[in-house]
Amino acid sequence: MLSVKGSRIALVCSSLIFATSAGYNVWAHGNVTPQAVDTSKLPDIKPDNKTWLTKNPYRDDPKVYAIAQKIGESAYGGNCARCHGLEAISGGIAPDLRYLDKGEAGDEWYIQRFQHGSSRDGKVYMPPMGEALGQKAGWAIRSWLDTKHEE
């Protein structure tokens, strides 16, 4: 049985960030407020923006791709940088997204993580972003990450 003192300590701890064996942090819920992303300049994703694709639909058209990269840059800054680092250069608390596989090969893994985040054993490593930000923002960020890619 936990003493009163013990449970108080547990409460304090639950608001801290725990390092894990993977070296990444587990985040207490409630500390991530999604920043809305204006994607109105991007074409809708057929049929309804809600059927999740496994390939970046903005990469094929250079004009659209450029717009997506611009929107993605600021969307990344508002929603991802605090964990994945400014300019996608990780400070070590979350994976470095410059090394995601290029092109279609990396799209599926990327969007899966974007949509669902990552949780194991009831701990949230990355909060899900799909619902809050939407698919258009997801592919915009992916388009910008393409510009940061490194082997």
Stretch in the footprint of ligand HEC (CB under 6 A) among 5-13, 38-46, 50-58, 126-134: 126-134
Q: Please report the DSSP string for 113-124 in residue order.
A: HHHH-EEETTEE
> Using the rule CB under 6 A, is 74 a contact of ligand HEC?
no
> Using the rule CB under 6 A, is 80 a contact of ligand HEC?
yes
Supply the DSSP symbol for 88: G
CB of 10 to ligand HEC, least distance (A): 21
> Using the rule CB under 6 A, is 144 a contact of ligand HEC?
no
Helices (H) and strands (E) in the chain, counts: 6, 4
> Using the rule CB under 6 A, is 83 a contact of ligand HEC?
yes
Q: How far is CA 11 from CA 1, 5, 57, in A?
A: 15, 10, 44
Supply the DSSP symbol for 22: T
> Using the rule CB under 6 A, is 82 a contact of ligand HEC?
yes
CB of 87 to ligand HEC, least distance (A): 14
